[in-house]
Amino acid sequence: MSAPSIVILTGAGISRESGLATFRDADGIWAKVRIEDVATPEAFRRDPMRVHGFYNARRAQLRDAALQPNAAHLALAELDGCWPGDLLLVTQNVDDLHARAGSRRLLHMHGELMKARCGRCEAVHPWAADLSTGTPCPACRQTGSMRPHVVWFGEMPLELKQISAALDRCDLFVAIGTSGQVYPAAGFVAEVRGRARTVELNLEATEGSRLFDEVRYGPATQTVPAFVHELVQSL
Ligand code: BV8
Residue among 52, 108, 110, 149 flagged as catalytic:
110
Ligand 1 centroid–CA 185 distance in Å is: 7
CA 179 to ligand 1: nearest atom: 67
CA 148 to ligand 1: nearest atom: 4
- According to the model, what pLDDT value does residue 2 have? 87
Nearest in space to 59 (alpha carbons), one of 111, 11, 8: 111
110 has catalytic annotation: yes
Segment 77-108, tens digit of pLDDT: 999 999 999 999 999 999 999 999 999 999 99
- According to the model, what pLDDT value does residue 31 have? 93
DSSP per position, 146-206: EEEEE--TTSPPSSHHHHHHHHHT-SEEEEES--S-STTGGGHHHHHBTTBEEEEEESS--
Decide: pTM greater than 0.85.
yes
- According to the model, what pLDDT value does residue 96 have? 98
CA 160 to ligand 1: nearest atom: 34
- According to the model, what pLDDT value does residue 170 have? 98
- According to the model, what pLDDT value does residue 162 have? 98
The ranges of the chain with pLDDT < 70 are none
- What mean pLDDT, rounded, does the chain reach? 97
Report how far residue 79's alpha carbon sits from residue 56's, in angstroms, rounded to the nearest whole number: 32
Q: Which residues line ligand 1 (CB under 6 A)?
A: 11-13, 16-17, 22-25, 28, 39, 92-94, 110, 150-157, 160, 177-179, 181-184, 202-204, 206, 219-220
Q: Which of 10, 73, 153, 167 to mutate to test the pocket of ligand 1 (most atoms within 8 A of CB)?
A: 153
